[in-house]
Amino acid sequence: MVTIYHNNRCSKSRQTLELLREKGEELQVVEYLKDTPPAQELKAVLQKLGLKPEQVLRKGEQVYKEQYAGKSYTDEEWLQIMAENPILIERPIVVKGDKAAIGRPPEKVLEIL
């Protein structure tokens, strides 16, 4: 089973989802803007990515610029901020077993299949 944290408005996310379908992967699609994962789930995903929360923030988003730019937070605080503002989570994130990848470019996820 492959899980994709997906935003249908994002072309890279749509391309990654299509790539996974072409590969015949059994998919669980999490539309994370509607069904936001809790901070603990985000933490587990980031551990699989080998990244810290601040490394997967979308710093170009308006909410980041207005509320968080230039401020310092702990990893746990960033996780909570991401859970409360899922638009800040880089996309798409694909998880298979104990591995994860960010689909930028979409072909990057092939490394974990």
Q: Which are the catalytic amino acids?
A: 10
Do residues 57 and 79 touch, judged by C-beta distance below 8 A? no
Number of H helices, E strands in the chain: 4, 4
Do residues 85 and 65 touch, judged by C-beta distance below 8 A? no
Query: Can the peptide bond before residue 92 be classed as cis, meaning omega within 30 degrees of 0?
Result: yes
d(CA 105, CA 85): 24
